[in-house]
Structure 1
Amino acid sequence: MKTAAFSSVLVTLACLVSASAFAMAPTGQSSAKVTPDMIQTGSDIPAHWTQPEGNFDYVKRDVMIPMRDGVKLHTVILIPKGAHDLPMLLERTPYNASGFVPNNSPHMADAVWSGDKDWADGSYILVWQDVRGKYGSEGKYIMTRPPMGPLNPTKTDDTTDAWDTIDWLVKNITQSNGKVGMIGSSYDGWTVAMALLHPNPALKVAAPESPMIDGWMGDDWYHYGALRQVNLDYFTGQTTRKGKGESVPRDNYDDYTNFLEAGSAGDYADAHGFKQLPWWNRFAAHPAYDAFWQLQALDKLLPEHPSSVPTMWLQGLWDQEDIYGAIHAWEALTKAGHGANNHLVIGPWWHSQINRQGWHLGPLKWPGDTAAEFRQQVMIPWFNHYLRGTPMAKPLPQAMIYNAVEKRWDRFSNWKVASAQQLTPIYLQADMGLGFQQPAGGGDSYVSDPAKPVPYLPRPIPQKNDNWRTWLVHDQRFVADRPDVLSYTTPVLTKTVTLQGAPIADIFAKTTGTDGDFVVKLIDVYPGTDPSDPTMGGYELPISLDIFRGRYRKSFADPSPILANVVQEYKFRLPSVNYEFKPGHRIMVQIQSSLFPLYDRNPQTYVPNILFAKPADYKKATVTIEHGPDGHSAVLLPVVAHSTASH
């Protein structure tokens, strides 16, 4: 009873407390006063925002520079604070000029992308510009807009746009010394080459890096007539919208499956809406090397309009995208008598690696960061020499080419153009042998089946492929056991074989088809074991390879069917090398008829335009590689007894 009474009292007290609290609660009317500054009826985003930049060590300017026809081009300029009498470095791009300054940092070197960090030390004014019709620039975008002439009836091109841009910069950037250098890789390297066709007098030095020079012969679009069909993603990325477009959507993870199931490259393109793209329609209508390609090949145009601008032509030894352009432009200018102001640099790099770190390339490791060291020790001092008048510790030689075996730069005062080389044949022999003695005869056959093309990398091969940059140094043992790949190998070498120049594939073959492709690979076969790096034991390292479409064996402009079962000669140049096959290694030559899905399949039946071959056109063919007497198949090697390089 006592406990129950006490509990009753507690309940009564709790109710009283609760009622009191309820009585004190707000009744909907706040005693706080609302003032005008609390009310916002407009947007919380101001019409104009200015970021305080008192602690920035540079000033950023976004300007629209007028061209001679009134079109204005979006340009981003970084000027070091307190700048006076500084040179300017210009890059013209279809890849978003604003994207070259990706970081909102008060420090110029931290604000720019990795490729420009060495230039952003406060001693240069950095300039990036969107080409016509891309990103922030006005005008119409045309893929690698041809020079004014039959393919471009307007009064402007990327030559005039570069001229007008430099003219504006010199007159309006008061912190400059009135001198400009141009730089850029790939498409941006092409814009540098275009500027050299008629350079503004203020352009004092230039460096086209891995430039797109001839898209049909050996840069991005074709290699000797074989379509690099994986670049169809580039077409949609560049030409479906003013900014960055999307890649082609995939049904399967493996691009080998995607392209094989699509049929021809044209069928693949049609299924994904490419007929809406003017560039694709022009491109697809010209599969042969006709006027459409010849009239925009810069290695032909540059010697016709030579400049006196000191120019450094750069590329990588294993450049998987533009291995053709720089060296062919340099060779053409040198042959025409303009070698004095044109220099060749080939580094141990993949495409555009000059602008990134260069410690290694796939399994190949270097003793330092070859890219950064070259930029800091050679390239920037060379630019400074022409833009500031500062002396160089060493003059730039005619050619600087990395020696990937000795792991050093070789400097040449007499690097020969390909047409002036002395070549030594290494012949395909019986029993899959390879040697410098001409064989008596014989041949080897394989069946090339378009339904089972040879992959260029081990499957699966996804669209976003981490091995894309380094596929040219991939171990070729992954195809060694295929019956449609022939591998010819020397005995173990007892002395060094040194190559300096461009090998030439000289293949004599017959086929049961009326068309066909030939892939030739020059390979260094490592010894079976390597104590210093066990993963390199028996490695088959390609040092030079390319593909040739058989219909162009007589003429690149006028293709013709292959005569079935008749021996024909297929002779084509391979990428240049500066290489040493060491004792204990072996030299290998591999031959096959496809490199898929990087290159489109040859149906092996002659059709007018392979891009639109029909399913019934794709047929197996038996290919026979001849040793003689109908033809002594060989690779003609630029063997030198003694290197003429200095170090």
Structure 2
Amino acid sequence: MSQGTPQDSAWIRENYYKIERYIQMRDGIKLFTSFYIPKDTTEQHPILLTRTPYSCAPYGEDRWRNFAAGYLRYYLREGYIIAIQDVRGRWMSEGEFVDVRPFIKDKKSATDVDEPSDTYDAIDWMVKNVPHNNGRVGVFGISYPGFYSTMASASAHPALKAVSPQAPVTDWFMGDDFHHNGAFFVMDGWDFYSSFGKPRPHPTTIGPSGFDYYTKDNYKWYLETGAMKNILKLTGDSIAFWKELYQHPNRDAWWQARNARVALYDIKPAMLVVGGLYDAEDCFGAWNVYKALKAQSPATNSHLVMGPWYHGEWASNDGTHLGNVQWGSNTSFWYQNNIEIPFFNYYLKGKGPEPKLSAATVFFTGENAWHQFDRWPPAASHEQSIYLQPDGGLTWEAPAKKNSFSEYGSDPAHPVPYTEDVHFSRTREYMTDDQRFASRRPDVLTFQTPVLQEDLTLAGPVIADLKASLSSTDADFVVKVIDVFPDDFSYVPTGPLPVRSHDNPAAYPMGGYQMLVHGEIMRGRFRESFEKPVPFTPGKVETVKFSIPDVAHTFKKGHRLMIQIQSTWFPLVDRNPQKFVDIYTADDSDFQKETIRIFHDSEHASRIILPVMK
């Protein structure tokens, strides 16, 4: 694909027209919807719908989205009717907005509305009222619109033939944007809800303003703002969902009702679940929506695509690299041309042969190649333990020593930064960032293998199985899987490095690069149950076992596998006071230093369980 041109915009204007309509739901609430419709009346056209809380702007039938700037222009070339709807309670739609509105399985009356029912009513109106539609509807969307896509698949409308949830919000307590294993991703949460969460008393075309920070250094702002209760004071009661977060520190019924997977039974349309291996907002949703479909709706025609992408990069014009790490091809264009557009063309237009999509199409970084599998994790992947050793070793043999441990001090007043640079907005590049800055800190443990004598490919979830003791009653545990490049590795010709800039990122010194393949955090209090947290007993060796979202990566011969362990990841994640108190109501005085031991002996062997693919 080439970049969009002015000719694309002119062609779209010449061949399409726009209308805006209110569509009434079963309870009388009307949802605002924009339609871009082909002028061609010689054939019937499929409808491609996105439902969004982020606005179907620009508003006004004479004001158009810039479809020519991205790959959506190819859907217009194919003659699709593009529909974009403001969900209930957002922007120009009527009603009350509810974040990740719970699914109602057994609806008793017209007042029992949820996202599947709103989608059903919207689709029903469209196929009956939009001119020259062919009676076939597809739904897709990225991130929060990905959640609405998942919910659409449960609507059971007979006209809905194909759905693509992309990086879908799925479970905000377990792994999406705002919590990972119960640990709160405060920077993303506050940056988002301090504007998005502001009340909208009536339909509007004007978006909310953001929060006015006093510094562009996010590490400084979150550290000086202090305990979570201090952030709540910045909004009072004005942002309802932010306040509700504080009232539900554990995975109680309120959170469980907001797990989108509860809707994924007996799904009828073809499903194309898409996500990014290096998606800073949501590495969890795509993997877990797909796994839920396979487990709960096995008859559904479901497919998974995971590429080496940041959040939404598969819909961009460039999928060649992330940060300093390069993929060797434009993976986004490959996906658009070979998977998504043929998928919708077949199911909505009956165009071309049925796509020969495998159950899982996954890009393996390191190797930099696409692979197709009839299941995920692949049948060739099996669990193999690699053990932490004294003196920073990492081997396939269990440790033999007795009473052996590595120790570090964790100080919430000086937390480990998640990236080494000073910046304001959370970066997307941190997902592949060089971790040498962290390995040089005394509060980060580093374990690595000898130089690999053959390629090592991982395909599936990684499980951290740590044996740890604390000097206090609670702690977080961050485990990072890292690819250490050879000292002589380079993306550029040998010789002096050119000046590095945004236009020439390849100039970064890649020799010895410690590429973050994936990292994950576990809030220690939830090691036995996410519903009922328990404190640690000081000095007692306890098991902290948790899953790191799926990895698809080849550690090439000559590289090393490294594991880093730390207890703060700031300000990506809120700080644990390091004693067993309610973190959302804790005082600044509750935060304390702590000594943490990770054991690697014959009785307490800490290990990382790897999904090794042969």
TM-score normalized by the length of structure 2: 0.90
* Alignment equivalent of 2:587, drawn from 611, 614, 619: 614
Q: Which residue of 2 aligns with 1:252?
A: 215
Is residue 141 of structure 1 aligned with residue 97 of structure 2? yes
In 2 relative to 1, CA 517–103 (structure 1 residues): closer, same or farther, beyond 3 Å?
farther
Number of residue equivalences: 579
* Alignment equivalent of 1:188, drawn from 139, 145, 167: 145
State the secondary structure of the residue aligned to 2:237. Answer: helix
State the secondary structure of the residue aligned to 2:57. Answer: helix
State the secondary structure of the residue aligned to 2:14. Answer: coil
Listed one character per residue, the Cα deviations across residues 609-646 of structure 1 (whole Å, up to 9, x for unaligned) are: 211211221010000000023421111001122xxxxx
Deviation at 1:182, TM superposition (A): 0.4
Q: Is the 8 A contact 1:101 1:111 kept in 2?
A: no
* Alignment equivalent of 1:624, drawn from 594, 597, 601: 597
Q: Is the 8 A contact 1:486 1:590 kept in 2?
A: yes
Instruction: Return the alpha-carbon distance in structure 1 between the equivalents of residues 36 and 30 of structure 2.
Output: 19
Task: Give the counterpart letter for 1:210 in structure 2.
Answer: A
Q: Which residue of 2 aligns with 1:552?
A: 526
Listed one character per residue, the Cα deviations across residues 272-324 of structure 1 (whole Å, up to 9, x for unaligned) are: 1242222122221001011111122122331xx32121101111001101111
Q: Is the 8 A contact 1:102 1:113 kept in 2?
A: no
In 2 relative to 1, CA 150–372 (structure 1 residues): closer, same or farther, beyond 3 Å?
same
Q: Which residue of 1 aligns with 2:242?
A: 280
* Alignment equivalent of 1:598, drawn from 572, 586, 608: 572
Instruction: Return the alpha-carbon distance in structure 1 between the equivalents of residues 101 and 398 of structure 2.
Output: 48
Q: Which residue of 2 aligns with 1:422?
A: 382
Is residue 456 of structure 1 aligned with residue 418 of structure 2? yes
Instruction: Return the alpha-carbon distance in structure 1 between the equivalents of residues 67 and 531 of structure 2.
Output: 48
In 2 relative to 1, CA 151–445 (structure 1 residues): closer, same or farther, beyond 3 Å?
farther
State the secondary structure of the residue aligned to 2:612. Answer: coil
* Alignment equivalent of 2:159, drawn from 194, 202, 206: 202
* Alignment equivalent of 1:565, drawn from 523, 527, 539: 539
Q: Is the 8 A contact 1:187 1:212 kept in 2?
A: yes
Deviation at 1:339, TM superposition (A): 5.9
1:145-160 matched pairs, under 5 angstroms = 145-148=101-104, 154-160=111-117
Is residue 321 of structure 1 aligned with residue 281 of structure 2? yes
* Alignment equivalent of 2:328, drawn from 356, 367, 373: 367
Deviation at 1:55, TM superposition (A): 6.5
State the secondary structure of the residue aligned to 2:416. Answer: coil
Is residue 389 of structure 1 aligned with residue 380 of structure 2? no
* Alignment equivalent of 2:293, drawn from 317, 333, 356: 333
Q: Which residue of 2 aligns with 1:261?
A: 224
* Alignment equivalent of 1:502, drawn from 450, 461, 465: 461
Task: Give the counterpart letter for 1:97 in structure 2.
Answer: C
Q: Which residue of 1 aligns with 2:400?
A: 440
Q: Which residue of 2 aligns with 1:300?
A: 262
Q: Is the 8 A contact 2:473 2:578 kept in 1?
A: yes
Deviation at 1:513, TM superposition (A): 1.3
Deviation at 1:103, TM superposition (A): 9.8
Deviation at 1:523, TM superposition (A): 0.4
Task: Give the counterpart letter for 1:359 in structure 2.
Answer: T
Deviation at 1:197, TM superposition (A): 2.0
Instruction: Return the alpha-carbon distance in structure 1 between the equivalents of residues 490 and 250 of structure 2.
Output: 49
Instruction: Return the alpha-carbon distance in structure 2 between the equivalents of residues 511 and 553 of structure 1.
Output: 14
Aligned-pair identity in percent equals: 37
1:61-140 matched pairs, under 5 angstroms = 61-83=19-41, 84-99=43-58, 110-111=66-67, 114=70, 116-140=72-96
Instruction: Return the alpha-carbon distance in structure 2 between the equivalents of residues 61 and 633 of structure 1.
Output: 61
* Alignment equivalent of 2:474, drawn from 507, 515, 521: 515
State the secondary structure of the residue aligned to 1:409. Answer: strand
Instruction: Return the alpha-carbon distance in structure 2 between the equivalents of residues 483 and 308 of structure 1.
Output: 53
In 2 relative to 1, CA 417–296 (structure 1 residues): closer, same or farther, beyond 3 Å?
farther
Listed one character per residue, the Cα deviations across residues 12-65 of structure 1 (whole Å, up to 9, x for unaligned) are: xxxxxxxxxxxxxxxxxxxxxxxxxxxxxxxxxxxxxxxxx9963211001111
Q: Which residue of 2 aligns with 1:538?
A: 512
In 2 relative to 1, CA 393–202 (structure 1 residues): closer, same or farther, beyond 3 Å?
closer
* Alignment equivalent of 1:634, drawn from 603, 607, 610: 607
Larger Rg: 1
Instruction: Return the alpha-carbon distance in structure 1 between the equivalents of residues 76 and 172 of structure 2.
Output: 32
State the secondary structure of the residue aligned to 1:562. Answer: coil
Q: How large is the Cα RMSD of the aligned pairs?
A: 2.4
In 2 relative to 1, CA 617–428 (structure 1 residues): closer, same or farther, beyond 3 Å?
same
Q: Is the 8 A contact 2:232 2:243 kept in 1?
A: no
Q: Is the 8 A contact 1:354 1:371 kept in 2?
A: yes
In 2 relative to 1, CA 157–500 (structure 1 residues): closer, same or farther, beyond 3 Å?
same
* Alignment equivalent of 2:194, drawn from 233, 236, 257: 236
Is residue 342 of structure 1 aligned with residue 302 of structure 2? yes
In 2 relative to 1, CA 195–67 (structure 1 residues): closer, same or farther, beyond 3 Å?
same
- Shifted more, 542-551 versus 353-362: the winner is 353-362
Task: Give the counterpart letter for 2:194 in structure 1.
Answer: T
Q: Is the 8 A contact 2:18 2:34 kept in 1?
A: yes
Q: Which residue of 2 aligns with 1:170?
A: 127
In 2 relative to 1, CA 165–489 (structure 1 residues): closer, same or farther, beyond 3 Å?
same
Deviation at 1:408, TM superposition (A): 2.0
Instruction: Return the alpha-carbon distance in structure 1 between the equivalents of residues 174 and 299 of structure 2.
Output: 23
Q: Is the 8 A contact 1:524 1:581 kept in 2?
A: yes
Q: Is the 8 A contact 2:314 2:332 kept in 1?
A: yes
Is residue 407 of structure 1 aligned with residue 380 of structure 2? no
Q: Is the 8 A contact 2:186 2:571 kept in 1?
A: yes
Q: Is the 8 A contact 1:112 1:120 kept in 2?
A: no
In 2 relative to 1, CA 165–448 (structure 1 residues): closer, same or farther, beyond 3 Å?
same
Task: Give the counterpart letter for 1:373 in structure 2.
Answer: W
In 2 relative to 1, CA 123–241 (structure 1 residues): closer, same or farther, beyond 3 Å?
same
In 2 relative to 1, CA 435–327 (structure 1 residues): closer, same or farther, beyond 3 Å?
same
State the secondary structure of the residue aligned to 1:307. Answer: coil
Task: Give the counterpart letter for 1:262 in structure 2.
Answer: T
Q: Which has the higher contact order (CA 8 A, sep 6+)?
A: 2
In 2 relative to 1, CA 394–386 (structure 1 residues): closer, same or farther, beyond 3 Å?
closer
In 2 relative to 1, CA 492–55 (structure 1 residues): closer, same or farther, beyond 3 Å?
closer
Instruction: Return the alpha-carbon distance in structure 2 between the equivalents of residues 288 and 115 of structure 1.
Output: 41
Listed one character per residue, the Cα deviations across residues 208-241 of structure 1 (whole Å, up to 9, x for unaligned) are: 0000000000001110111011121211222214
Instruction: Return the alpha-carbon distance in structure 1 between the equivalents of residues 283 and 451 of structure 2.
Output: 30
In structure 1, list runs of 5 or more residues that go unmatched: 1-52, 642-647
In 2 relative to 1, CA 175–112 (structure 1 residues): closer, same or farther, beyond 3 Å?
farther
In 2 relative to 1, CA 624–332 (structure 1 residues): closer, same or farther, beyond 3 Å?
same
State the secondary structure of the residue aligned to 1:249. Answer: coil
Task: Give the counterpart letter for 2:193 in structure 1.
Answer: F
Listed one character per residue, the Cα deviations across residues 594-620 of structure 1 (whole Å, up to 9, x for unaligned) are: 10001000000110x211211221010
Task: Give the counterpart letter for 1:65 in structure 2.
Answer: I
Listed one character per residue, the Cα deviations across residues 534-563 of structure 1 (whole Å, up to 9, x for unaligned) are: 722111011121000000011000001111
Deviation at 1:375, TM superposition (A): 1.1
- Shifted more, 420-429 versus 72-81: the winner is 420-429
In 2 relative to 1, CA 393–151 (structure 1 residues): closer, same or farther, beyond 3 Å?
closer
